Amino acid sequence: MKSLHSAVAGAFIAQFKTTPTLVRAPARINLIGEHVDYNEGFVLPAAIDREMVFGIAPSGHDRCNIYALDQGEGISFSIFDLNAGHTWVNYLMGVLDGFQRRGAPVHGVDCVFGGNIPAGAGLSSSAALCCGFAFALNELFQCNLAKWELATIAQYAEHEFVGLQCGIMDQYAILFGESESALLLDCRALTHEVVPVNLLGHALLLVDSKVKHSLAATAYNDRRQTCEEGVRLLHQKDKTVTSLRDVSAVMLYEHQDLLGEERFIKCLYVVEEIKRTQAAASHLKSNQLSCLGNLMYQTHWGLSRSYEVSCPELDFLVSLAEDEKKWVLGARMMGGGFGGCTINIVDSSYVSIFEEKVLHQYFATFKKEPDFYLVNLVGGASRLEL
């Protein structure tokens, strides 16, 4: 990590001839609770030791001069001319617009950023970009916005400047993450409980399918629309229903004909996943890792067969894990879907053997090599010392 911090700081000093404020924003994983944040349910995410790092200082005028270290390209624009159009800068413009809409006193900045979060792997590199920039602006200009406000600004940026109608989970976990812990996040109340994660001789291993997803594509937003349509129909029968958080499986079965098969199946997955997440947090608290793992497998096949956001590569990786349940307590696809990583709870003594098996069989089947990331749980976005 130090080399990344030094690289960002060095590039900033070389380009802008002054010393920056340094800020980091971690990537995130989600142990369980997928596609329920935008349904106001419970999720169980955690911040991990992959991150986006920002070197930033006031520019002294209204212009922002931003350099993306990993892409090797820069862009300059006025804070009074936030017109989306250029790929990665859309996220940053959206954050600036979010601050302005709150009346927060932001000005132009010089900024260099870089990271070690694999893009397209489902680890929320885009949310880390938004949250890190928001955290940096808040620190730099002493806006005194609370972390939950920064999370909603980062979410707004993705909604309005990128076109992804994401929930709040990624942004919240990146800002509020705690070392060696997950967060049981109530996505309706925007409150959380810190749940210590004792892996008991196991490791968290991500397997990157190397299938790159684009969540701004229609499929993700279509799932959200399907859930909202289900809520609208159920609200006609029960005015207390304002999200799938308010719905039981019994209610869904009672109104199955009204919902239609497609909406019923998608909504049932979400309702069941909310329950699984609450149960998973209880299992973590009592160190019942195998019970948590079983729920993860259930979640994957729900995402694959009911919610239909998996792909053959992800299903193959989870099946390989399931064949080794003695050593791999749980596995599932993670993130919005259609590619990215699986998350696996693997006996630490078995990690290298499991990686070798996956590498061989996955390549033989799909002619591509997966990547492997062992991750640790860390604290949320913070300032760094030079």
Q: Which of 109, 103, 195, 184 is closest to 149 using CA atoms?
A: 103
CA dihedral 331, 304, 307, 128 (to 10 degrees): 50
Task: Provide the 3-class DSSP secondary structure of residue 373.
Answer: strand
Sign of CA dihedral 337, 341, 347, 350: positive
State CA 265 to chain mean position distance: 24
Burial call 321-332: b when 16+ CB within 10 Å, e when fewer = beebeebbbbbb
Q: Are 64 and 81 in contact (CB under 8 A)?
A: no
Which strands form 181-186's sheet, in the order they lie side by side? 42-43, 181-186, 191-196
Distance of alpha carbon 39 from alpha carbon 137, whole angstroms: 30
Q: Is 47 left (phi over 0), alpha (psi -120 to 50) or beta?
A: beta
Q: Which residues pair with 42 in a beta bridge?
A: 186
Give catalytic status of residue 186 as yes or no: no
Task: Provide the 3-class DSSP secondary structure of residue 103.
Answer: coil
Tell me which DSSP letter residue 35 carries.
T
DSSP string, 141-203: TT----HHHHHHHHHHHIIIII-----SHHHHHHHH--TTEEEEEETTTTEEEEEE---TTEE
Of the residues 37, 97, 110, 170, which is catalytic? 170
Q: Which of 43, 192, 69, 200 is closest to 129 using CA atoms?
A: 69
Distance of alpha carbon 347 from alpha carbon 367, whole angstroms: 27
Task: Provide the 3-class DSSP secondary structure of residue 208.
Answer: strand
Q: Are 141 and 106 in contact (CB under 8 A)?
A: yes
Q: Provide the annotated active-site residues.
A: 170
